Amino acid sequence: MNIAEVDTLEKDLFCPEDHFQNMLINERKRTERFGRPFMLILLDVGRLLGEGSKEKPAVLQNLAFALNSSTREIDMKGWYLFGSLVGIICPEFYEANKTRLVEKLRQKLKSFLEPEEAASIKIYCIMYPDNEVAHTEDSAPAKSEQINQEWPGLLLS
């Protein structure tokens, strides 16, 4: 498989970055209007999909299978930052369900990917309208400024 085919596959499995950003803006507006919270999950897949990954197409497909099997039909999946961060927008999602969803997501990643591949993915959860970030590796809550240190300009303000 050549580079163009891999790029096409990346775009086909998850919605493009610009479209995902528009969906996120619309969801933020909906939250402001109706007061129903949502959660944005960011998966840092940069190391997983790093340069030289010969199995990139298969890894991408397995990643897509894991995400589709652990999320609801109404959850929107796409490239938050193409090639580095996959985002999942979970509309009408409440904080009480966050731990269960992240655990399910971790289990599905482990079942569809090799152990070292699954372990290389960092997962961040951002609840809106609170704009609080939880880095699931240590479950320590943080404000959006903390995630912006790792990914400058990442979050919508």
pLDDT recorded at residue 103: 92
Distance CA 84, CA 63 (A): 13
Give the pLDDT mean for 34-63. 84
| Residues paired with 135 in a beta bridge | 124, 140
Give the tokens for residue 15: 């919605």
- At 3 the pLDDT is 45
At 4-43, the pLDDT tens digits run 444 555 556 788 999 999 999 999 999 889 988 999 999 9
Ordered domains of the chain (ranges, CATH) = 3-150 (3.30.70.270)
Q: What is the pLDDT, as a whole number, of residue 44? A: 92
Asked whether the beta carbons of 43 and 106 are under 8 A apart, the reply is: no
Burial of 89 (0-12, 13-18, 19+ CB in 10 A): buried
Rounded CA separation 115/135 (Å): 20
Which residue, among 151, 67, 149, has the nearest Cα to 111 in the 3D structure?
67
105-113: average pLDDT: 95
Count each helix (H run) and each strand (E run) in the chain, helices first.
Answer: 6, 6
Q: Report residue 5 CA to chain centroid gap.
A: 23
Dihedral of CA 100/24/120/4: which sign?
Answer: positive
